[in-house]
Amino acid sequence: MTFKTIFALATIGVGAALSTLPAEAADSPVRWKMQSWFPSKAPHAGSTGKDIETKLERLSGGTFKVRFHEPGALIPPNQCFEAVGKGSVQACWSTPAYWYGDEPALSLFSAAPFGMDWPGLMAWFYYGGGKEIYEELYAKHNMYALPCGGMIPEASGWFKKEIKTVDDFKGLRIRFLGLGALVLEELGASTMLLGAADLYPSLERGVIDATEFAAPSVDKALGLHEIVKYYYFPGWHQVATIYDLMINLDAWKALSDQQKAMVEMVCGDNVRQAIAQGESMQPESLDFFKQKGVEIRQWSPEILAELEKAWTRVASRESEKNADFKRTWDSMQAFRARYADWQSIGYLKR
């Protein structure tokens, strides 16, 4: 028997032996339901959530599917916090600002009045202690969450009447989100939280006198300019808004390391997309409103100063009431103080 014959037989034998060994188990397919707070047709707010579905399926080759459900399709969006924690749905697409009533400190991650812009917010979140607090807060409710999109600076809102002084906030009925709502209540306004579909009819029927929602490109789709003509900037209440993917903690732990990495990569790309796309769309949207006769206004320095004073009082009270709020706020403020020197000298002032 020649060497070649012996080698060939040996190779066949090894191959046959290997074929009888159990193959390493592949990751099990994932099929999740995701309830969205925002409709998929809403630019940024909804469309970025829909992108989670398509990007994860592409990245995984179809083995990881997260089905996006329009608002109310599975559960009312305002029940997401409890539903994800209990595992009624595996995930929800939302923003931490909506969960003030369940975990007040979470609001600081997406709607801190007079807060940091995107570079500062991300620096604090990923490298200044924010992420650790954020994950602990969600874990208390049997959830894991991660930033998965966002909104560039929002508009301050649509008003039926011109706001000339802070006294004009007294008695105003306004749809407003999170901590900013507490600031306006401090100045005498009456606030409520309504979904996107309720804004137009509520303004039209006089249920509310004013509303904020998002950036101009999103507000444009709502048609609010057909009813209200005063549109105010800047959005002092939401300088940079994190949108996040809330996941049932048990569902997250059941994923393999590779599957977790897929979610992290998709969400990282979503944040990049949301900021770049969001910034690119605003000039055209502002031009649209100008052509429609909308009065685009900017808050006076005096009004902004009074709003910030009111926020300082609110933040102090909330910190006294809730230890986690204080811990989060103190962490954010400490980072901001360290960041201030770099921010002041590192960037051109236009």
Do the domain assignments include residue 318?
A: yes
CATH number of 63's domain: 3.40.190.170
Flag whether 64 is in a domain.
yes
In a domain, 334, yes or no: no
pLDDT band per the 50, 70, 90 thresholds, residue 178: confident
Q: Give 14's pLDDT tier (boundaries 50, 70, 90).
A: very low
3-class DSSP state of 335: helix
Which tens digits make up the pLDDT trace of 228-275?
999 999 999 999 999 999 999 999 999 999 999 999 999 999 999 999
Asked, for residue 25, whether it belongs to a domain, the answer is no
- pLDDT per residue as tens digits for the range 79-112: 999 999 999 999 999 999 999 999 999 999 998 9
Domain count, the chain: 2
**Do 170 and 193 belong together in one domain?**
yes
| Nearest in space to 37 (alpha carbons), one of 89, 84, 94, 106 | 94
Confidence of residue 301 (pLDDT cuts 50, 70, 90): very high
Domain holding 300: CATH number?
Answer: 3.40.190.10
Adjacency order of strands within the sheet including 30-36 = 64-69, 30-36, 91-94, 241-248, 143-151
Structural domain including 51 reads 31-151+239-282
Tell me: do 146 and 167 sit in the same domain.
no
User: 234 and 141, same structural domain?
Assistant: no
Evaluate whether residue 230 is within a structural domain.
yes
Give yes or no: residues 132 and 93 share one domain: yes
Q: What is the pLDDT of residue 107?
A: 95
213 inside domain:
yes
Residues paired with 94 in a beta bridge:
244
Query: Has residue 287 got a pLDDT over 60?
Result: yes
Residue 11 lies in a domain: no
Q: How far is CA 252 from the centre of its chain?
A: 19
CB within 8 Å of 172: residues ≥ 6 apart:
184, 188, 189, 190, 209, 210
Asked if residue 77 and residue 225 are part of one domain, the reply reads: no
Residue 347 within a domain: no
